[in-house]
A and B are shown apart, each in its own frame.
Chain A
């Protein structure tokens, strides 16, 4: 195995493209190193991207924020601007692992690891976040929703890697929330999870929404029927029931020791409902 501390984007792309064996980008390493040690992957090349210029920066852009691919969870959580604009995205990221894991783990790594239960991904999908990808053909942007393909598999092609994630601007009365269910309060993998982002008008009526689910299908789900259930309402009980039912209807979860299919399906709707109410309150709804 070779370890290379890359100095610029072009070098990363070249290294990834030229490697005939198994190559891995290294961000926080909290998945890569575990997989390396367990022998789940035997990389021939590790490319450390943490020293590229700007890769650890969070910058304002068009009223939103561009977050470098190597920004850790701890760093993101300390950025008052991002926390204020996208609290639901931040709370998803902050649920990843322990304080120690937060010191290293990145959103891009969480997304690229490809776990259906990745905690930052539903929030990013609800936020309609866009990743910037550098590759052999130059730079392209792609919605977070289109990155996961199946468990452990993502849509990036050989030579490509994520350089940043963009969280867009939003109107005054808008917010988001993320909730997951785990059998204990810390350090576990989501059994089901939901992210909700919404916008309100002056009298508290929801004018736009995105609802996403994690851990209940091979990839993160965007549930348009659930969003439609609350658009035009003030999140009354009846609309929330329709939202929950729409969420449960699209679930296609696994059955394992941490949650049965029935449980995951039902709880996904409950979590979406609760997350919607939290986002509504945060957005200034009564």
Chain B
């Protein structure tokens, strides 16, 4: 298999990598770029732990080829906090104890951020449907929904 050279942008930084043609973007992020925030829960698009933004769209990075990142803008959980300042979603997940093991958390944060950019004032039902592709084995979804709503309220006020 001939490796492919890819030029892309990750969290605003121009980035280059070499990957195999059948390598997923998730594997590239974790194993080649050492951005291990995105998790692999299933590898088949079901759990959302690998959620990232590609050209402004929320996707499962386990279902994107690394090669497809050529010329694209990738945003991952690592780009969410600004230095030491946590994003309101991150802060409210901590304050509201909306995580336990934390495997699902990066994906949920990336997905929730995408929701609030599109819809700053969602109903609980809208949050639940938007996050239906993000599975959590530990926390129970109520705390997650509450944390998203608390962050949304803060962001609307700011």
Contacts of A37 in B (CB 8 A): 24, 43-44, 62
- Determine if B67 is an interface residue (Cβ-Cβ < 8 Å): yes
- Determine if A29 is an interface residue (Cβ-Cβ < 8 Å): yes
Q: How far is the CA of A257 from the CA of B96 in the complex (A)?
A: 39
A36 touches B22 (CB 8 A): yes
Not counting A38-B44, A48-B68, A100-B63, a sample of 19 additional A-B residue pairs whose C-beta atoms are within 8 angstroms of each other reads A2-B21, A3-B21, A5-B68, A5-B70, A26-B68, A33-B45, A33-B62, A33-B63, A98-B48, A98-B132, A100-B48, A100-B60, A101-B60, A101-B63, A101-B133, A103-B57, A103-B58, A104-B64, A186-B129
B138 smallest CB distance to A (angstroms): 19
B residues with CB within 8 A of A: 1-2, 4, 21-22, 24, 43-46, 48, 51, 54, 57-60, 62-65, 67-68, 70, 111, 114-115, 129-134
Q: Which of A50, A72, A101 has a CB less than 8 Å from the CB of B45?
A: A101
A29 touches B63 (CB 8 A): yes
B64 touches A1 (CB 8 A): no
Given A2-B2, A187-B46, A99–B67 Cβ distance below 8 Å?
no
B65 touches A98 (CB 8 A): no
Q: How far is the CA of A99 from the CA of B108 in the complex (A)?
A: 12
Q: How far is the CA of A55 from the CA of B43 in the complex (A)?
A: 28
Given A74-B57, A104-B64, A99–B130 Cβ distance below 8 Å?
yes
Q: Which of B21, B44, B114, B134 has a CB less than 8 Å from the CB of A34?
A: B44
Contacts of A48 in B (CB 8 A): 65, 67-68
| A interface secondary structure, majority | mixed
Q: Among A36, A74, A100, which residue has the most Cβ atoms of chain B within 10 A?
A: A100
| B interface secondary structure, majority | mixed
- Determine if A46 is an interface residue (Cβ-Cβ < 8 Å): yes
Contacts of B1 in A (CB 8 A): 1
A97 touches B45 (CB 8 A): yes
B67 touches A5 (CB 8 A): yes
A25 smallest CB distance to B (angstroms): 13
Q: How far is the CA of A2 from the CA of B2 in the complex (A)?
A: 7
B44 touches A99 (CB 8 A): no
B119 smallest CB distance to A (angstroms): 12
- Determine if A30 is an interface residue (Cβ-Cβ < 8 Å): yes
Given A2-B21, A97-B45, A72–B57 Cβ distance below 8 Å?
yes
Quick one: closest B residue to A78, CB to CB? B118
A30 touches B58 (CB 8 A): no
Provide a sorted-by-A list of 21 A–B residue pairs whose CB atoms are within 8 angstroms: A2-B2, A3-B21, A26-B68, A29-B63, A29-B65, A30-B63, A33-B64, A33-B65, A34-B45, A48-B67, A98-B48, A99-B115, A99-B130, A100-B59, A100-B63, A103-B57, A103-B58, A104-B63, A186-B129, A187-B46, A187-B132
Contacts of B46 in A (CB 8 A): 187
Contacts of A186 in B (CB 8 A): 129, 132
Contacts of A29 in B (CB 8 A): 63-65, 68
A100 touches B21 (CB 8 A): no
Instruction: Identify which of residues 241-270 in chain A touch chain B, using a CB-to-CB cut-off of 8 Å.
Output: none
Q: Which 5 A-B pairs have the closest CB atoms?
A: A98-B133, A3-B21, A103-B57, A186-B132, A103-B59
Query: Would you give the 0/1 interface string for A87-128, flagging 1 where the beta carbon is closer than 8 Å to chain B?
Result: 000000000011111011000000000000000000000000
B41 smallest CB distance to A (angstroms): 12
Q: How far is the CA of A74 from the CA of B111 in the complex (A)?
A: 14
A82 smallest CB distance to B (angstroms): 18
Contacts of B4 in A (CB 8 A): 3
Contacts of A3 in B (CB 8 A): 4, 21-22, 65, 67
B102 smallest CB distance to A (angstroms): 19
Q: How far is the CA of A37 from the CA of B48 in the complex (A)?
A: 16
Quick one: closest A residue to B57, CB to CB? A103
Quick one: closest B residue to A42, CB to CB? B22
